[in-house]
Each structure stands twice: as structure tokens, then as C-alpha cells.
Amino acid sequence: MSVDPRNLRASSSFPPEVIAEIQRAADQGVYDIRGLGAKRRVPGFDDLILLGASVSRYPLEGYRERCDTNVVLGARHAKKPIELKIPITIAGMSFGSLGANAKEALGLAASAMGTSTTTGDGGMTPEERQSSKTLVYQLLPSRYGMNPDDLRKADAVEVVVGQGAKPGGGGMLLGHKITERVAEMRDLPVGIDQRSACRHPDWTGPDDMEIKIREIREITDWQVPVYVKVGATRTHYDVTLAVKAGADVVVVDGMQGGTAATQDVFIEHVGIPTLPAVRLAVEALQEMDMHRKVQLIVSGGIRSGADVAKALALGADAVAIGSAAMMALGCNKPVYLEDYHKLGTEPGFCHHCHTGRCPVGVSTQDADLEVRLDPASGARHLKNYLTSMVLELQTLARACGKTHVLNLEPEDMAAMTIEAAAMAKVPLAGTDWIPGAKGW
């Protein structure tokens, strides 16, 4: 006897995925941990469009009519600011969460494109320092692998208060990824689950962060820029305080930002989307007359040159990519299908970085899997992806009549939804309505 499908009523509150999750928790007695970023739909750059040239505005021709993409970061205090050829950087991802081949590939591609990579919660590896011409060194609550030699080898230092996937949370690396090499770098026993601090050990609060930043400058002879990175929550206050504490660059990571391992509830339910975060950050900078004097890098779900264009139009100086860079290297590529199946997933749906069994060898410490990612080949792919994004960015910027991508402005856009209009303070297309802007 077959079931009449008309009688099958799904519940919005308790759809099959939620029921499965409840039963998993009932089995395991612990929260679900996974990789990547927020998967549910949130208002984002897809809800904004750019206003190309028309009768009142004139576009630029491709090729001969320049559209420049260079940006300088950190001139506020540093003797050696960072000059990037493109406004797209590679976000912090740890050696430990990623394998050595992946880190090397990121470095090679970034160097070829004239941009930077960033270390993560495990410290700096020689491979990454060698392969990446411009390397930003993170100072995290855990301080794994932190040392003054690497600090001095870095081209910038990034004080990490938090990240978009888990603002208020610390790093996480599960036992099967704590190999001998990772364990040695982090001063941990092999094979245990890493518990991480969520606050810095020697400072709490912006008043103390200012003193910490000064210490870092004293150790690095005031040569290099100091960034402050926050996950997007109370972004207006955070950016204001970061500037007051002495940051040269502020990095704001929206809730779509990825991770290699964090509780699912943290990823999905903490933090605001990148879209309002950019606007809040820029407003804070403008109020202090620091826009373009302290640079803003935004990250969290940047996927294409269109996203980059819109982030810059809202006032960012550059963006950072994490998940997208991994995908360019092969994350979720439809190959090695049996290995995806062994994890209980399919290409396009995989978020199993935390298992260390990455089918494409990106987010793993396992030698047999890592060999699937050849650094040179990975680098070529990432370089191509970055090149493509930059071409997209320039195409859109030229269409808006810009000779430099940083000349994009909010008035070059319109919003497709009321939420995006309110969050980005960009009028709803066809109207001049920004919800809340003029008291209505």
C-alpha cells in the first residue's frame, strides 16, 4: 500500500533536518560541530545591485581606459605600510585547520597576484612565510606558536578579538587533526581535542588592548601595520574602539564567515551579516574622520567580483576571502565521490573540515589526503579565481564610470529588498526610501 503524498505535511519548525539534529544530540550528548560558515539565507550582497552608466553617467572602455585596483593599508602609524595590487586578501586560516600544501598554495597565489595571506590559530609555518610575499601574522587568544622571531618576520600583525563564524568563541581543533607537527607547533599533546580560550590571556577590553598594541609596536620597532579583527556584532562600537586603541587597519568579519570547526549554533545564530557590518564600520570611521585613514577590510561570504564591488562601494578598502579561496583550491569539488559519501555528504554540501578527512586534501593533516592537493596546481587555480574576480570588479567599476575601484560609492547602488535597504542604507530600487533614514 503506497502512501498518498498529499498527506505528507512537513513542519516548518521541525523539518527533517531539525529532527535529525535533535536525535543526533540525543545520541551524542554534545553540540554539533562543523566547518564553513552560516548556511541559512541572510540579507547580503545579492540584495544590492549596481547602477551602471546611463545618460547622466558615462562608462569607461575596457583595457585602455584604466580602472586601478591598488590599495595601501596601514599608513597611519607603520613605517612600512602594505601595498596591495588588488583589494582582495586571503583571510586568516590556521595551519592545523588547513594542511601545509593548502597554506603553500595560498601563499603562491597571493604572491603572484600582489596580495597578502594571513596566518591562523596555529602560528606561522616556514612554508607559508616562504611562499607568501606579504604575510599578516595573527595574535590570537590561544597564542599557539606565538614568538617574536615570527612577529618580526611578518609584514603586519593582526590582533584577533574574534571572527564572524563565532564572535566570542575561541579556536577549535579536534583530536584527529592534532598530528605530531601540529601538536609541536601548538605545545599540545598529540591526538587530544584542543580547548581554546575565548579571551586574550593578558588583556581584556579596549583600554588594555591599546597597551598591548603599543607593546607589539615596540617589539617590531613600529615598522609594520597593526590590524584589529572583530566578528561582526556591535560593529559601530568595535570599530570606534579599535581606532581609539591605535589600530591601523580594522578587519570586520560578518556572520557568513567560515571556520574549520565550531558549534553549528554558534555559526548560525551569532553575529550580524556582512552587509550591515560594512555600513556600520564605515559610519564609525567617518564619524571619527578616519575613513580611508584607517583602512577597513571586510570578509564573510565574499564570492565574486560583484561582492567585492559592492563592499568597496559601501566604503571598504579591501575584502578578504576564506571559504571562497578554499573552494578555488577544490573544496566541495565533485571528485573523489566515495570519500564524500564516507563522510555522509555530497560535493556541494560538504562542511566536514572538522573531521580532518577532507576529500580534496585542503582541510586535512592526513598525508594520504593532502597529496591530492598539489601546491603549484592549487596556486594556479586560486590565482585564476582571483584574476577572474578582479576582472569582474573592474568591469563593474568601469560600467559605473570609475577609474579606481575605491571611487565606487553607496550612491552607485540600489537595494532589491527592504532589509537590504535598511541594513546597507541604500535606497530601495525605484524609490528614495531607506527605512528609518528620514524618520520613516
Partner 1 sequence: MIEFDLAADGLRALNRQLQGLGEQSNETEWRVLHPSGEHALAVGLTRPLKVVVEGHAGFYCGGMNSQAEIEIRGHAGPGVAENMMSGIVRVTGNASQSAGASGHGGVLVIEGDASSRCGISMKGIDIVVGGSVGHMSAFMAQAGNLVVCGDAGANLGDSIYEARLFVRGKVESLGADCIEKEMREEHLAALTELLQRAGMDADPGQFRRYGSARKLYNFNVDHADAY
Partner 2 sequence: MCGIVGLFAKQAAVEDRLGDYISSMLIEMSDRGPDSAGVAVYRDPVPSGSAKVVLQHPDHGYDWQGLAEGITARLAPATVERRGNHAIARTEASFEDLRAWLREIHPEVSVVSSGDTIEIFKEVGPPADVVSAFALRELKGTHALGHTRMATESAVTTKGSHPFSTGFDLCLVHNGSLSNHNRLRAELRRHGVEIQTENDTEVAAGYLTWRLSQGDSLEEALTEGIRDLDGFYTFAVGTRDGFAVLRDPIACKHAVMAETDDWVAMATEFRAIAVLPGADEARIWEPAPAQIYSWTRSGQ
Contacts with partner 2 by CB under 8 A lie at: 199, 204-208, 210-211, 234, 237, 241, 244
**b/e 331-370 (16+ beta carbons within 10 angstroms → b):** bbbeebeebbeeeebebeebbbbbbbbbbbbbbbbbeebb
Alpha carbon distance 171, 168 (integer Å) = 10
19 binds, among partner 2, partner 1, none (CB under 5 to 8 A by kind): none
Q: Does 26 bind partner 1 (CB under 8 A)?
A: no
Chosen from partner 1, partner 2, none, partner binding at 234 (C-beta under 5 to 8 Å by type): partner 2
Q: Phi-psi region for residue 37, left (φ > 0), alpha (ψ -120 to 50) or beta?
A: beta
Which one of partner 2, partner 1, none is in contact with 24 (Cβ closer than 5 to 8 A by kind)? none
Which whole-number Å values give the CA distances from 319 to 136, 140, 212, 290, 372, in the listed order? Answer: 14, 20, 26, 18, 29
Residue closer to partner 2 by CB (options 14, 237) is 237
Q: Which does 334 bind (CB under 5 to 8 A by kind): partner 1, partner 2, none?
A: none
Q: Is residue 203 within 8 Å of 212, Cβ to Cβ?
A: yes
Q: Which does 205 bind (CB under 5 to 8 A by kind): partner 2, partner 1, none?
A: partner 2
Q: Which is nearer to partner 2, 160 or 213 (CB)?
A: 213
Which one of partner 1, partner 2, none is in contact with 175 (Cβ closer than 5 to 8 A by kind)?
Answer: partner 1
241 contact, one of partner 2, partner 1, none, CB 5-8 Å limit per kind = partner 2
Q: Counting contacts by CB under 8 A, is residue 181 touching partner 1? A: no
Sequence letter at residue 193 = D
Min dist CB 269 to partner 2, Å, is 17
Given partner 1, partner 2, none, residue 148, with its beta carbon under 5 to 8 Å by kind, binds partner 1
Q: Taking CB under 8 A as the rule, does residue 223 contact partner 1?
A: no
219 binds partner 1 (CB under 8 A): yes
Residues 108-167 that bind partner 1 (CB under 8 A): 142-143, 146-148, 151-152
Work out how close the CB of 190 gets to partner 1 at its nearest, in angstroms, rounded to a whole number.
11
Give the nearest distance from C-beta 198 to partner 2 in angstroms: 12
Q: Any idea what the Cα angle at residue 277 is, between residues 274 and 278, rounded to 5°?
A: 90
- Residues 355 and 132: their CA atoms lie apart, in Å, by 27
Minimum distance of partner 1 from residue 137's CB (angstroms): 13
Contacts of 185 (CB under 8 A, 6+ apart): 95, 96, 122, 123, 125, 144, 145
Burial annotation 412-438 (CB, 10 A radius, 16+ → b, else e): bbbbeeebbbbbbbbbbbeeebbeeee
Minimum gap (Å) between residue 241 Cβ and partner 2: 6
| C-alpha dihedral sign at 63, 64, 66, 70 | positive
Which is closer to partner 2, CB of 199 or CB of 293? Answer: 199
Contact with partner 1 (CB under 8 A): which of 192, 265, 391, 437? 192
Distances (CA, A) of 59 to 53, 64, 69, 395, 415: 5, 13, 17, 10, 21
- Parallel, antiparallel, or unpaired for β 318-321 and 88-90? parallel
Q: Does 203 contact partner 1 by CB under 8 A?
A: yes
State the minimum distance, in angstroms, from the CB of residue 412 to partner 2: 32
Q: Figure out which of the listed residues 22, 197, 367, 437 binds partner 1, where binding follows CB under 8 A.
A: 197
Nearer to partner 1, 85 or 152 (CB): 152
Candidates 1-9, 25-33, 69-77, 93-101 — which segment interacts with partner 1 by CB under 8 A?
Answer: 25-33
Please state the three-class secondary structure of 16-71 as a single string: HHHHHHHHHHHHHCCCCEECCCCCCCCCCHHHEEECCCCCCCCCCCCCCCCCECCE
Closest CA relative to residue 408, chosen from 24, 4, 67: 67
Query: Residue numbers of the site for partner 1 (CB under 8 A)?
Result: 28-30, 142-143, 146-148, 151-152, 175, 187-189, 191-193, 195, 197, 201-203, 208, 211-212, 214-215, 218-222
